[in-house]
Amino acid sequence: MTAAGFSAAAPDAALAALFVPLESSELRLPADGRVLFLRARAGVRLREMAQPGWLCEQGFMPFADELARNGLRVGEPAADEVFPLVLVLPPRQRDEARALFARALVHTAPGGTVLAAMPNAEGAKSGEADLARLAGAVQHQSKHKCRVFWSTPDAAGIDRALLAEWLSLDAPRAIVDGYVSRPGLFAWNRIDRASALLAAHLPDDLHGRVADLGAGCGYLASQVIARCPNVSTIDLYEAEARALEPARINLARAQRECGRELAVAVHWHDVTRGLSRRYDAIVSNPPFHQGRADLPELGRAFIVTAAEALQPNGRLFIVANRHLPYEAILAARFRDVRTLVTQEGFKVIEAVGVKP
C-alpha cells in the first residue's frame, strides 16, 4: 500500500489476462523490444516481461509512481511515435475507452498489434466489439474472468473517420452550468452532489492562500473564486492528469466571470505525500474508494496532509459520505471541529486551528 492507501502494486485480473496470449505463444514480443503500455499497472508479471524498450503510460500519479519504483520507464509517447505492440487496459467508461483504442491505433506501427484485456463484468464484450469496429478482425481468449482481445490491423481496414471521431471523445467538453470535464473523471458529466453541498456552505470570508485537495476538474476551486472575494491565491492538487486541462479551463472562466485575477496553479500531485506550501484555508471532497472498494484511509490521509499544510489558525472544509469515520482524526488534528450540515447522505465539516 502507498501512503495514499491505493493498492498500486497489486495486479488485477485484467493485468494477468493481458499476458495470456504472449504466454501461450498466440502472440510474440517484438524483436526490437519496443512496447507501449497504455494505462499500465504494476505487477509481478509485468516486471518479469518488461524490457528497457517498454514505455508505460499512466496518468494516475500513485500508479505511475509505483511503475517507476518497479524500475519501469514511465511517460508519454511522442505524437508520431509508433510501436510494434501496444498493450491496453481499457477503462470501464465507454467514451474514454474508445478514445484509448483510437490512441492505441495511432501509436501502432504498420503490421503491429493492439492487445487489450477487460474484466467480463466491466464491458469486455463491448470493448472487443469497439476495437473490431475500429481496426477490423479481432481474436480473443478468456481467462481470469476477463476477455483478452487483439487485432493486427491492415492500414486499409482501419475506419479513419471513426478513428478521428473517437480520438475527439477525450477532449474536454461542456457539461452543465458552463463547466467542462471529460469522460472517465469522477462525476464527469454532472456537478457532484457532495461538492455542490460543500460549495453552498463555504463562508465568504475565506482569504489569502487556499488549496483544493483532490480538485478534479476544478469545480470547488471555481466556487471559491466566485464566492470568496478576499482569496488571493488558489492551488489545485489532483492525482489524475486527465483532470488538469479541464480544471485550467474552468478556473480561467471563473476568473473572467468574477472580474479579477488570482494567482492560480494546477498541480499533478498525490496529496497524501504532503504539500510544500502553507495555506490559510483548504477545501476538499476527498476520495474514499478505489474502484468499488471503500478505502476511508484515503480521506483520513487527506485530512492529515491538510492539517500539516495549514497555518496554525487555518480552516479546513471537507465533505464526506455520512458514514465515513473522519471525526476521530479531525479531533486529533484540530482544536475545533463542527458539522455544518448533514444532508442527502453527506456531511460538511469545518475544522479550525491546527493542534501543535
C-alpha cell read off for 285: 471532497
Could you read off the pLDDT of 224-250 as tens digits, one per residue? 999 999 999 999 999 999 999 999 999
Q: Looking at 169, 188, 222, which one is the last position of a domain? A: 169
pLDDT score at 294: 57
pLDDT score at 111: 95
How does residue 6 score in pLDDT terms, banded at 50, 70 and 90? very low
Q: Is 204 within the bounds of a domain? A: yes
Q: Is 258 within the bounds of a domain? A: yes
Rg of the Cα trace of the chain? Answer: 22
Q: Is 202 within the bounds of a domain? A: yes
pLDDT score at 173: 96
Could you give the 3-state DSSP secondary structure of residue 102? helix
Q: Is 3 within the bounds of a domain? A: no
How does residue 289 score in pLDDT terms, banded at 50, 70 and 90? low
Is the pLDDT at 150 greater than 70? The verdict is yes
For residues 21 and 161, membership in a common domain is answered with yes
For residues 154 and 187, membership in a common domain is answered with no
Cα–Cα distances (Å) from 49 to 33, 59, 187, 226, 293, in that order, read: 10, 22, 36, 51, 29
Q: Is 299 within the bounds of a domain? A: yes
For residues 139 and 220, membership in a common domain is answered with no
**What's the rounded Cα separation, in Å, for the pair 320 and 5?**
17
For residues 222 and 122, membership in a common domain is answered with no
For residues 92 and 206, membership in a common domain is answered with no
Could you give the 3-state DSSP secondary structure of residue 30? coil
Q: Is 4 within the bounds of a domain? A: no
The average pLDDT across 39-66 equals 94
pLDDT score at 155: 85
The average pLDDT across 42-64 equals 93
Half-sphere exposure of 95 (CA within 13 A, CB side): 14
Give the mean pLDDT of the chain: 93
Could you read off the pLDDT of 297-346 as tens digits, one per residue? 899 999 999 999 999 999 999 999 999 989 999 999 999 999 999 999 99
For residues 104 and 236, membership in a common domain is answered with no
What percentage of the chain carries pLDDT values higher than 70? Answer: 95
Choose between 210 and 292: higher pLDDT: 210
CATH number at residue 211: 3.40.50.150
Q: Is 83 within the bounds of a domain? A: yes
Could you read off the pLDDT of 55-99 as tens digits, one per residue? 999 999 999 999 999 999 999 999 999 999 999 999 999 999 999
Contacts of 318 (CB under 8 A, 6+ apart): 198, 283, 284, 285, 286, 299, 302, 303, 306, 326, 348, 349, 351
Contacts of 196 (CB under 8 A, 6+ apart): none
For residues 79 and 94, membership in a common domain is answered with yes
Among candidates 72, 53, 78, which has minimal Cα distance to 15? 72
Range of the domain at 63: 13-169
Q: Looking at 169, 202, 230, which one is the last position of a domain? A: 169
For residues 88 and 151, membership in a common domain is answered with yes
Could you read off the pLDDT of 190-205 as tens digits, one per residue? 999 999 999 999 999 9
Q: Is 200 within the bounds of a domain? A: yes
Three-class HEC string of 322-350: CCCCCHHHHHHHEEEEEEEEEECCEEEEE
For residues 42 and 126, membership in a common domain is answered with yes
Q: Looking at 130, 146, 169, which one is the last position of a domain? A: 169
Domain count for the chain: 2
pTM, two decimal places: 0.92
Could you read off the pLDDT of 123-146 as tens digits, one per residue? 999 999 999 999 999 999 999 999
**What's the rounded Cα separation, in Å, for the pair 90 and 282?**
34
pLDDT score at 5: 42
Choose between 186 and 10: higher pLDDT: 186
For residues 52 and 182, membership in a common domain is answered with no
Please report how the helices 94-106 and 160-167 are oriented relative to each other, as an axis angle in degrees rounded to 10.
120
pLDDT score at 9: 33
For residues 159 and 184, membership in a common domain is answered with no
C-alpha cell read off for 352: 479550525
For residues 238 and 120, membership in a common domain is answered with no
